[in-house]
Chain A
Amino acid sequence: MNSFKLMGKTRGRLASMLAAASVLTLAGAAQAEETFKLGVVTFLSGPAAESFGVPAANAAKLMVEQFNKGSAPAPYNKAGFGGMKIEMILVDENGGGAKQVQELRNLYQRENVDAVIGYVGSGDCLAVAPVADELKKFLVLFDCGSPRIFEEASPKYVFRTASHAAMDNVSLVRYLKSHNVKVNTMNLINQDYAWGLDSRGDFLAGMANAYPQAKMGADLLPKFGAGQYGTEVSVLGGKQADITYSSLWGGDLQGFLLQGAARGLFKDTTLVLSAADHVLPGLLDKMPDGSIIGARGAYGILSAKSPINDWFQASYQSMHKALPVQAGYRMTQAFMGVKMAVESAMAKNGGRKPTPEQIAEAMRNSTFDTPGGQIRMALGDGHQAIQGTAIGKTKYDAASKRVLAVDVQTFGAECVNPPANMKSMDWIKAGFPGAKCN
């Protein structure tokens, strides 16, 4: 039985694919001159879509529109990327790191994009970073938190234009301390995957310095996307604690808050949430007042007033009928960083479309201002950004039907980020040596 008859057919299919491919590549080459093809990868489906993916995608759309019109404020007022029209290809991040590697290869090798901005999930970032380096293509990670990416490897073509997760928890701890919040006992609830576990680790290490006497109550690790927290709520209710720390986000956080509130869990404990701003618009009055929240940066209601921030909020508001939250800010940072890098690279190479090497060279150690404050590519040999952040307390304002932030304290970049020569965990354990706070 000639069991390999089909291989002939496969070859036929290969041939036809070839044809398709060459067409694609030609097309790519033809446009390459006047346009800059930019792949943008973020969650368009799945649990992270609503909290991070879609706001980020919205911000990306806004940036493309504004940049191409050249209507962004200086220094971003040059049309497109250095005159080149930005052509965006939006890809869904849902489906796991393995799939992302394939999609990224497709973007670079089939769609011939000039650069890729993307990735919310730490796992995805870890998976794709080596690929970009292998293919020698330019990649900017805009959101994912895990410090591992630049502390365990030093990719050449990969950058992250936002602080890693260490900052979120360090700033929380500093805030607790500087507001003399009494913490004798603490409950923790974090998701049972990298983000939750890392955040928990950072926070505990930080607390060990700031509050050596603080005792651990419950330390729960519900599974990602659990949705139902009945059991957790009663465990937490059983162990009274001064604060309840959580790095939950999105639907899980909303679910936890709703179910906890329904059972009066937060009446006598202060919520300390490392990344909560994006759930406030949905929760409104269900968000317990006085909860201490971070936004993984000086974003949204925690952001500082500045012309560029006002412009961003206004234009985002008008385009998407909502206030931008953390993911939107972070996407914007990435766009602005790339724009700056591309344009300074073009200034050097005489206005030609820069190669990935040139863009990378220009981005390394660069500094640029964004709605979320100044970004400095200071860590990981100039590939990892540090930025300032802010923490605040929530207060529901019935009049405007919005949750506002009060007692907002902002932290300088050097205050909450490790120095270039230290791994974040060591730095936290060592008690933040060399941190510059004012």
Chain B
Amino acid sequence: MRSNRSLFMALLAAIVLILAGLLAPAWLQFLVTMSAANGLAVLGIVVLMRGGGATFGQGMFFALGAYAAALVPTWFGIQDAVLRIVIGTLVAGLIGALFAPLLVRYRGIFFAMLTLALSMVLFGLLSKSSLLGGSDGISIAKPTVLGMSLQSGNAEYVLYCLTVVVSVVAGWLVSVYWNSAAGLMALAVRGNPLRVEYLGASARRSLGTSFVICALLGGTSGAITAQALGHVEPNFSNWTTSGELVFVAVLAGYRRVPAVFAASLLLEIVRSFSNLYFPNTWQLALGVFMLLVIMFRPEGLGSLWPVAARRQVDPGTAVPSPTEGQP
């Protein structure tokens, strides 16, 4: 029943956003598109964080998704944006699943550093392969969306809608997963993996699941971003990309799905304006912003919204949702 309600909320959000998009100027549509796309990658990291993992290599899956989406048109003549997104997602997920068994043997900073190393190796490979445009990257033919071709007039809005829909669906699926038994198990693994194993469940499998979901979302994000930008480059796999994504993840916290997209949007706005109006100090601005958030919002933006009134309910009968946080 809860999942039904969040489904309803998701639909509502989608409709509202699509309508709101109509009013927004092109640059804003694009900004939201980009931030939502990034939001997906961040959502992946958040899922992983919530499952007890930390990654500094999300850029790897971001890049995999992006390059997949960029190459299928030239290699297999796939023009449809949705199809490209699906492929990008699957490719990233597949690679993620390949590495998961290896990675789940590690925790904390080692896990993070290993993902970092992997993504930097991919970065190296991409920068080398002249077939893939080397360090300059490659441009992507504008996609068609469900048969529609994109002109300069409608391109932003169509992509905007597509991104909104994908993000909302992904967000809803994640919220369903967070409510699920596996989702609760992920939280437990984060809290006390050894105990989980003493209960006969596999902490590693749980972490692996989180990681694969993280990879899938990274791929989706990359695929959308690639088509919105019309260009992909090895930088996507660089550690700085991952670093910013992780930052947004921390900014958002792992409490609520929408917080992730809010955080992503917030950073996108701060970045794009600060970069334009004080080009010489935008890193400084970003850094200060980060520190303040980490200092005053340790739980991330997700903690800005009071947890549903369950604490007031008579504890005997209260049935808290596993995914809602503690006060």
Task: Answer whether A and B touch in the complex at a CB cut-off of 8 Å.
Answer: yes
Known A1-B175, A11-B20, A13-B265; contact A92-B280, beta-carbon cutoff 8 A = yes
**B202 at the A interface (CB under 8 A):** no
Docked pose: A98 CA to B258 CA in angstroms: 25
A contact residues around B31 at 8 Å (CB): 102, 106
Which residues of A, 109-154, contact B by the 8 Å Cβ criterion? 109-111, 122-123, 126-127, 129-131, 134-136, 146, 148, 153
Among candidates A107, A111, A123, residue contacting B137 with C-beta atoms closer than 8 Å: A123
Query: In the complex the two chains form, is B262's CB within 8 Å of A91's CB?
Result: no
Question: Per DSSP, are chain A's interface residues mostly helix, strand or loop, or mixed?
Answer: helix
> Smallest CB–CB gap between B138 and chain A, Å?
8
Which residues of B, 102-150, contact A by the 8 Å Cβ criterion? 127-128, 130, 133-139, 142
Query: In the complex the two chains form, is A130's CB within 8 Å of B231's CB?
Result: yes
Query: In the complex the two chains form, is A1's CB within 8 Å of B2's CB?
Result: yes
Query: In the complex the two chains form, is A130's CB within 8 Å of B139's CB?
Result: yes
Q: Which residue of chain B lies nearest to A107 when distances are taken between CB atoms in the complex?
A: B276
Q: Which residue of chain B lies nearest to A136 when distances are taken between CB atoms in the complex?
A: B152
**B89 at the A interface (CB under 8 A):** no
**B94 at the A interface (CB under 8 A):** no
> Smallest CB–CB gap between B114 and chain A, Å?
21
Among candidates A1, A7, A97, residue contacting B235 with C-beta atoms closer than 8 Å: A97
Docked pose: A153 CA to B12 CA in angstroms: 43
> Smallest CB–CB gap between A40 and chain B, Å?
10
Among candidates B17, B28, B136, B225, residue contacting A17 with C-beta atoms closer than 8 Å: B28
**B324 at the A interface (CB under 8 A):** yes
Docked pose: A103 CA to B231 CA in angstroms: 14
Docked pose: A389 CA to B20 CA in angstroms: 54
Which residues of B, 1-38, contact A by the 8 Å Cβ criterion? 2, 5-6, 9-10, 12-13, 16-17, 20, 23-28, 30-32, 34
**A5 at the B interface (CB under 8 A):** yes
**A44 at the B interface (CB under 8 A):** yes
Known A97-B137, A105-B27; contact A3-B127, beta-carbon cutoff 8 A = no
**A262 at the B interface (CB under 8 A):** no
A contact residues around B229 at 8 Å (CB): 97-98, 101-102, 127
Query: In the complex the two chains form, is B275's CB within 8 Å of A101's CB?
Result: no
Docked pose: A360 CA to B215 CA in angstroms: 44
Query: In the complex the two chains form, is A4's CB within 8 Å of B10's CB?
Result: yes
Docked pose: A347 CA to B255 CA in angstroms: 62
Among candidates A6, A96, A107, A136, residue contacting B256 with C-beta atoms closer than 8 Å: A6
Q: Which residue of chain A lies nearest to B226 when distances are taken between CB atoms in the complex?
A: A98
Query: In the complex the two chains form, is A4's CB within 8 Å of B171's CB?
Result: yes
Interface residue tally for chain A (C-beta within 8 Å): 57
**A228 at the B interface (CB under 8 A):** no
Query: In the complex the two chains form, is A127's CB within 8 Å of B137's CB?
Result: yes
Query: In the complex the two chains form, is A45's CB within 8 Å of B34's CB?
Result: no
Query: In the complex the two chains form, is A91's CB within 8 Å of B276's CB?
Result: yes
Query: In the complex the two chains form, is A91's CB within 8 Å of B279's CB?
Result: yes
Known A135-B152, A194-B136; contact A7-B279, beta-carbon cutoff 8 A = no
Query: In the complex the two chains form, is B171's CB within 8 Å of A3's CB?
Result: yes
Known A3-B171, A6-B261, A126-B231; contact A103-B275, beta-carbon cutoff 8 A = yes
**B230 at the A interface (CB under 8 A):** yes
B contact residues around A25 at 8 Å (CB): 25
**B180 at the A interface (CB under 8 A):** no
B contact residues around A17 at 8 Å (CB): 24, 28, 269
Known A105-B30, A193-B127, A197-B130; contact A18-B262, beta-carbon cutoff 8 A = no
> Smallest CB–CB gap between A120 and chain B, Å?
13
A contact residues around B308 at 8 Å (CB): 1
Query: In the complex the two chains form, is B276's CB within 8 Å of A122's CB?
Result: no
Known A13-B265, A44-B279; contact A4-B152, beta-carbon cutoff 8 A = no
Interface size class of B (residues with CB under 8 A): 35 or more
B contact residues around A224 at 8 Å (CB): 135
> Smallest CB–CB gap between A126 and chain B, Å?
5
**A89 at the B interface (CB under 8 A):** yes
**B272 at the A interface (CB under 8 A):** yes
Query: In the complex the two chains form, is A1's CB within 8 Å of B27's CB?
Result: no
Docked pose: A10 CA to B168 CA in angstroms: 13
Query: In the complex the two chains form, is A1's CB within 8 Å of B16's CB?
Result: no
**A21 at the B interface (CB under 8 A):** yes
Interface residues as binary, B266-308 with A (CB distance below 8 Å gives 1, 0 otherwise) = 0001001001100110110000000000000000000001001
Q: Which residue of chain B lies nearest to A133 when distances are taken between CB atoms in the complex?
A: B152
> Smallest CB–CB gap between B66 and chain A, Å?
9
Query: In the complex the two chains form, is A193's CB within 8 Å of B27's CB?
Result: no
Which residues of B, 220-237, contact A by the 8 Å Cβ criterion? 225, 229-233, 235-236
Q: Which residue of chain A lies nearest to B152 when distances are taken between CB atoms in the complex?
A: A134
Docked pose: A148 CA to B133 CA in angstroms: 10
Query: In the complex the two chains form, is B276's CB within 8 Å of A1's CB?
Result: no
> Smallest CB–CB gap between B276 and chain A, Å?
6
Query: In the complex the two chains form, is A111's CB within 8 Å of B6's CB?
Result: no
Query: In the complex the two chains form, is A96's CB within 8 Å of B12's CB?
Result: no
Query: In the complex the two chains form, is B13's CB within 8 Å of A4's CB?
Result: yes
Among candidates A2, A15, A131, residue contacting B9 with C-beta atoms closer than 8 Å: A2
Docked pose: A210 CA to B325 CA in angstroms: 72
Chain A residues within CB distance 8 Å of chain B? 1-11, 13-15, 17-18, 21-22, 25, 44-45, 89-92, 95-99, 101-103, 105-107, 109-111, 122-123, 126-127, 129-131, 134-136, 146, 148, 153, 192-194, 197, 224
Chain B residues within CB distance 8 Å of chain A? 2, 5-6, 9-10, 12-13, 16-17, 20, 23-28, 30-32, 34, 127-128, 130, 133-139, 142, 152, 155, 168, 171-172, 175, 179, 225, 229-233, 235-236, 238, 256-259, 261-262, 265, 269, 272, 275-276, 279-280, 282-283, 305, 308, 321, 323-324
For the complex of A and B, the 6 pairs showing the least CB-CB separation, nearest first, are A6-B258, A7-B13, A109-B27, A193-B135, A4-B9, A123-B136
Q: With A2-B9, A14-B17, A193-B136 given, can you name 17 additional A-B contacts, CB distance below 8 Å? A: A3-B10, A3-B256, A4-B9, A4-B168, A5-B256, A14-B24, A17-B24, A22-B25, A44-B279, A45-B283, A92-B279, A97-B136, A98-B236, A102-B272, A126-B137, A192-B128, A193-B135
24 A-B interface contacts by CB (under 8 A): A1-B6, A3-B6, A4-B13, A4-B171, A4-B172, A6-B259, A7-B12, A11-B17, A11-B20, A17-B24, A91-B276, A91-B279, A96-B235, A97-B233, A97-B235, A101-B230, A102-B34, A105-B27, A106-B31, A109-B25, A123-B136, A126-B137, A126-B139, A146-B136
